């Protein structure tokens, strides 16, 4: 689950980069960059959840 | 070749900046002292020796490999053409610092600044891995950061790379702005600290099967608080030197940059003092130190571009976030970060970068800062995790359980930092 989260994060980065290239309009561009950041945050949350589950299984 | 060559500095500005860069190692000394004080007494000598070793390894590796890939503004670089725009993604400087003597004095000054920056960035994960990260692993982490990750970021942000050119290519303000190294040093260091903690795991006994996490307080609050004072001197020099080298700020703007740095730290420590006083009944020394440092880190991105009032507000917010997030990471997310580096450096740095976009006067600056933040979170964190995960297969990060039990000093150095002190039995190992 941690790895899934870490794999989702670059998708958010590429979304932000795509926004620069695809949208000359500042409002649309900003919205898509923020969406990219949202995807990254989602990936981070999944990675952190994965870490917590792994820790719970390994506790002495 | 990238188009953005550095503007020439006057002789006075050059002399002042050179003197300031000589003071920048005080920031490194302060962070090393804070890391040592927040660790345990039985690992203190290893922590401080590790700081020296990391500084040395990062300097050598950066000189051998990293500086080549960092490059300098206006010099040759590897560029992709995408959607009709140049994306300069990697420097192509001379190998092994070749031709350094004949390079312009300003390029040499920028390189010296980068040497300090890479050492501080590599030192940050060392504090988070305290009491279980082996000395060889700390040096290996520093080598990877100095050879690969730091040069990428430094080129993109400081040496005319694609993030620095967001303004010219996409009309996003002045491009991604980070004169004091909030991204290149602190967010990189903080995210590397998260990767190290995830890979090395928590200290034995930190998270028992039942109940709350065990408190493992730092062994010397005096080191921690003196480290904060030492760090202030280094940070003042760092931010002012960064403003001259990367923002080409005029001499008249430099006192305001220093005032902003001080106000950000002051606001942060007052906020943390208040929050911990309200939450625990008494102010917490180590959290206040973390708050102070978070204020300094946040100022790195924006001290040269905001007003003193805005710097104070930025520091206040950093100081409120810090103790709450340190608590959240430890109690709710099971992340064992003895030095608080993830909160202080990663989150503090991200907040500073965002604040630089919010308070900057140019239109589009906020989007440029958001793209930079997206790069740090979406590309740099997975990249450092992957690199460290592979590195851990070659050089095991974590010491064996017996080594952790007797302490890193005895295990790795054969002697303790305080040989005349009686070391009390640790209740968590019963």
Say what the ipTM of the complex is.
0.95
Residues of B in contact with A34 (CB under 8 A): 370
Owning domain of residue B394 = 11-419
Per-residue pLDDT band for B1 (boundaries 50, 70, 90) equals very low
Q: Is B3 domain-assigned?
A: no
pLDDT of the residue at B2: 43
Q: Kindly report, residue by residue over B206-229, the tens digit of the pLDDT.
A: 988 777 888 899 999 999 999 999
Q: How confident is the model at residue B304 (pLDDT cuts 50, 70, 90)?
A: very high
Q: Which helix (H) or strand (E) holds A25?
A: none
- The beta-carbon neighbor of A55 closest among B334, B371, B386 is B334
Domain boundaries, chain A: 2-58
Q: Is residue B424 part of a domain?
A: no
Answer yes or no: do A30 and B367 touch at CB < 8 A.
yes
Cβ contacts (< 8 Å) between B85 and chain A: which residues?
21
pLDDT of residue B3: 45
Q: What is the pLDDT of residues B170-195, one digit of tens each?
A: 999 999 999 999 999 999 999 999 99
pLDDT in tens, B32-82: 999 999 999 999 999 999 999 999 999 999 999 999 999 888 787 899 998
For residues B345 and B190, the answer to whether their CB atoms sit within 8 Å is yes
* Residue B427 placed within a domain: no
A44/B377 touch (CB, cutoff 8 Å), yes or no: yes
Mean pLDDT over residues B273-296, rounded?
Answer: 97
Q: What's the pTM value of the predicted model, to 2 decimals?
A: 0.95
> Would B4 be classed as within a structural domain?
no
Domain membership flag for residue B308: yes
In a domain, B217, yes or no: yes
The count of domains in chain B is 1
pLDDT tens profile A2-42:
899 999 999 999 999 999 999 999 999 999 999 999 999 99
For residue B423, the model assigns a pLDDT of: 58
Each residue's pLDDT tens digit, B119-175: 999 999 999 999 999 999 999 999 999 999 999 999 999 999 999 999 999 999 999
Q: Looking at the predicted structure, is the pLDDT value of residue A60 above 60?
A: no
What per-residue confidence (pLDDT) applies to B98?
Answer: 81
pLDDT at B146 (0 to 100): 97
Q: Is A40 on the interface with B (CB under 8 A)?
A: yes
Q: Which of B83, B85, B378 sits opposite A40 (nearest CB)?
A: B378
Contact predicate B28/B227, CB 8 Å: no
Instruction: Please determine, for residue B342, whether its predicted confidence score (pLDDT) is greater than 90.
Output: yes
What residues of chain A lie within 8 A of the CB of B369, using their CB?
none
* H or E element that contains A40: helix A26-58
Q: What is the DSSP letter of A24?
A: -
Which of residues B426 and B14 earns the better pLDDT score?
Answer: B14
What pLDDT score was predicted for residue B73? 82
Q: Which residue of A has its CA nearest to B330?
A: A52
* Predicted local distance difference test score (pLDDT) of residue B105: 87
What residues of chain A lie within 8 A of the CB of B156, using their CB? Answer: none
- Residue B253, in any domain of the structure: yes
CATH code of B399's domain: 1.10.3430.10
User: Least CB-CB distance to A40: which of B82, B85, B374?
Assistant: B374
């Amino acid at each position: 689950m941690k790895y899934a989260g870490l794999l989702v994060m670059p998708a958010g980065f590429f979304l932000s980069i795509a926004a620069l290239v695809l949208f000359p309009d500042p409002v649309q561009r900003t919205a898509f960059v923020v969406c990219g950041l949202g995807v990254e945050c989602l990936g981070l949350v999944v990675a952190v959840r994965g870490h917590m589950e792994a820790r719970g299984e390994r506790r002495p | 070749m990238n188009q953005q060559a550095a503007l020439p500095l006057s002789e006075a500005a050059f002399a002042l900046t050179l003197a300031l860069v000589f003071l920048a190692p005080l920031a490194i000394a302060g962070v090393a002292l804070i890391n040592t004080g927040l660790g345990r007494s039985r690992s203190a000598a290893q922590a401080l020796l590790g700081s020296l070793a990391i500084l040395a390894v990062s300097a050598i590796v950066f000189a051998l490999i990293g500086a080549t890939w960092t490059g300098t503004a206006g010099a040759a670089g590897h560029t992709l053409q995408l959607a009709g725009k140049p994306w300069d993604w990697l420097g192509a400087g001379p190998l092994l610092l070749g031709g350094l003597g004949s390079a312009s004095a300003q390029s040499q000054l920028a390189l010296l600044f980068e040497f300090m920056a890479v050492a501080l960035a590599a030192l940050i994960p060392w504090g988070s891995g305290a009491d279980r990260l082996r000395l060889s692993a700390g040096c290996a982490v520093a080598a990877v950061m100095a050879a690969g990750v730091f040069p990428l970021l430094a080129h993109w942000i400081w040496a005319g790379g694609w993030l620095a050119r967001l303004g010219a290519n996409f009309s996003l303000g002045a491009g991604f702005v980070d004169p004091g190294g909030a991204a290149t040093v602190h967010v990189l260091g903080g995210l590397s600290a998260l990767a190290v903690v995830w890979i090395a795991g928590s200290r034995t006994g930190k998270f028992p099967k039942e109940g709350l996490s065990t408190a493992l307080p730092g062994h010397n609050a005096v080191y921690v608080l003196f480290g904060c004072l030492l760090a202030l001197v280094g940070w003042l020099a760092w931010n002012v030197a960064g403003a001259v080298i990367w923002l080409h700020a005029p001499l008249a703007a430099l006192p305001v940059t220093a005032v902003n740095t001080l106000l950000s730290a002051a606001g942060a420590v007052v906020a943390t003092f208040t929050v911990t006083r309200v939450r625990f009944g008494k102010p917490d020394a180590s959290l206040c130190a973390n708050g102070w440092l978070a204020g300094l880190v946040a100022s790195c991105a924006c001290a040269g571009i905001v007003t003193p009032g805005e710097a104070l507000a930025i520091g206040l917010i950093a100081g409120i976030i810090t103790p709450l997030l340190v608590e959240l990471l430890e109690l709710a997310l099971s992340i064992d970060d003895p030095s608080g580096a993830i909160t202080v450096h990663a989150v503090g740095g991200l907040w500073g970068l965002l604040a630089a976009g919010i308070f900057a006067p140019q239109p589009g600056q906020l989007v440029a800062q958001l793209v930079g933040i997206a790069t740090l979170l979406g590309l740099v964190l997975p990249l450092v995790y992957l690199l460290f995960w592979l590195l851990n297969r070659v050089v095991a990060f974590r010491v064996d359980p017996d080594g952790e039990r007797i302490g890193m000093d005895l295990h790795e150095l054969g002697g303790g930092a305080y040989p005349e002190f009686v070391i009390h039995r640790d209740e968590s190992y019963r």
